Amino acid sequence: MEVNYEPMWESLGLDLAAHDELLRILGEGYSNIFLSQENRPEGMSYFDFVMSEVHGLRVKELIDGQNEGRKVIGSFCVFVPEEIVRAADATLVGLCTGADFATDEVDKLLPRNTCALIKSAFGFKLGKVCPYIEAADMLVGENTCDGKKKSFEVLGRLVDNLYVMDIPQMKSSEGRTLLRAEYARFKDAVEELTGISIDGARLKRGIEITNNKRRAVHRLNSFRCADPAPISGLDALLANQVYFYDDPVRFADSVNKISDELEPRVQSGEGTFPKGTPRILMSGCPMAVPNWKVPWIIETSGAVIVGEEACVGERGTQNLTSDAGKTIEELMENILDRYFQIDCAVFTPNPDRQQHIEEMYERYNADGVIHYGLQFCQPYQFESMNVETALEKKGIPTLRIDTDYSMEDVGQLKTRIEAFIERISQL
């Protein structure tokens, strides 16, 4: 029986007509892009279900949890330590969004030359179509790029539950000291919000739950090194996107079920694409739901994506947090160790990211790299030039793309991507 979620959406203050329209567009896009793929692992049906219920059942679960005392914390960045949130029995959900909405309203608040990701988050808030931002007990903004930093000043005028975390810009000892202090302050804020005092045992459990999600993604990714690729890049990206919304234990189980299918596929040489299909490593800005444009173009142009060097991808999930130690101080230091390795382009200098791209290119047996930059994203657009030069110098074919969430450039992108695939096919 179909559940009527309208009363729930109404109680969250959503604009029901606009929200219906969003769900219609999302459903249509999902069906055209994902359900039309061939030879998908059966386990992807779980993710089809999650996407069909992304504003329904999952939101209801969060609200049911709130009624039992569990808080919901929304974040825009992988620097927000999930371990601390889980340690306080709270839920962390990602709030980055991958579609334009209420653009006229957004343009009244933000400069036009703001990246699509930030504009989209504001569009979903102003258009009243995001149940997650409305349901959250606390929103966490982070001082990473200038666009986010300044936009949180604006967001702070629209909501009364914004918490801003400072993030260092350099991987120096001073930067580490700053992040340590900010994580301690965040722990205090989570304790105050939830009324739960986080001790060593709780933090250990938060580390274990979060690590298990990461382990599941690492396992799935390990099968993507094979040729033929046993899963499409679109489906793997979807799993990485759902990582930010789903119940963590259920998510890890569901990803592991897919891996259980991929293992025999790899052993028997079965793939979603034929053996020898050109293999692409994506690198750059995060792609939040429902931003599937470029992967869709790539995988309908004769190539397969085998890895994502991005925050919705390996930059966000790589490295486990050590659970060695018992005291809160030791475990907080482990969390700091893990997050301080994130090689986001807001850091200067940022050589680790270049090394990670090259290492992923080798590990996933890629044939070329497509650097994905959002227009007006200074950190990644700046880095993309050096990335391209350094990779090409090493003989790694690289294509640099700057785009946004509109569909206007699909034809032009397809032409460039097809030419790139042609180039790597001849090597």
Binding site for ligand SF4 (CB under 6 A): 77-79, 115, 117-118, 144-145, 147-148, 285-286, 311, 342, 344, 346, 374, 377, 379-380
Query: Least CB distance from residue 347 to ligand SF4, whole Å?
Result: 9
CB closer to ligand SF4, 256 vs 375: 375
**Smallest gap, in angstroms, from Cβ of residue 155 to ligand SF4?**
13
Smallest distance, Å, CB 145 to ligand SF4? 3
Nearer to ligand SF4, 212 or 317 (CB): 317
Q: How far is the CB of 293 from ligand SF4 (least distance, A)?
A: 15
Nearer to ligand SF4, 286 or 307 (CB): 286
Give me the residue label for tokens 């890895």: 307
- Least distance to ligand SF4, CB of residue 267, Å: 35
Three-class SS state of 131: helix
CB distance 346 to 169 below 8 Å:
yes
The SS3 call for residue 276 is coil
Least distance (Å) between residue 113 CB and ligand SF4: 10
Tell me how far apart the alpha carbons of residues 114 and 31 are, in angstroms, rounded to a whole number.
30
CA 414/CA 131 separation, integer angstroms: 34
DSSP 295-357: HHHHHTTT-EEEEEESTTTHHHH-SPPP---SSHHHHHHHHHHHHTT---TTSSS-HHHHHHH
Output 314 or 367, the one with its CB closest to ligand SF4.
Answer: 314
Q: Residue 43 or 316: which CB sits closer to ligand SF4?
A: 316
32 backbone dihedrals φ, ψ, rounded to 5°: -65, -40
Residue (of 214, 206, 241, 227) closest to 335 by Cα position: 206
Calpha distance 51→30 (Å, rounded): 8
Query: For residues 79, 83, 84 and 87, what is the CA-based torsion angle, rounded to 10 degrees?
Result: 160
Residue 213 CB, nearest approach to ligand SF4 (Å): 17
Q: List b or e across 367-403, with b for residues whose CB sees 16 or more CB atoms inside 10 angstroms.
A: bbbbbbbbbbbebbbebbeebbebbeeeebbbbbbbb
| Gyration radius (Cα) of the chain, Å | 21
Q: Give the chain's end-to-end CA distance (angstroms, integer).
A: 54
Q: Can you tell me the distance from the alpha carbon of 245 to that of 248, in angstroms, rounded to the nearest whole number? A: 8
Cβ-based nearer residue to ligand SF4, 364 or 380: 380
Smallest gap from residue 406 Cβ to ligand SF4 (A)? 15
**Shorter beta-carbon distance to ligand SF4: residue 77 or 294:** 77
Q: Which is nearer to ligand SF4, 217 or 374 (CB)?
A: 374
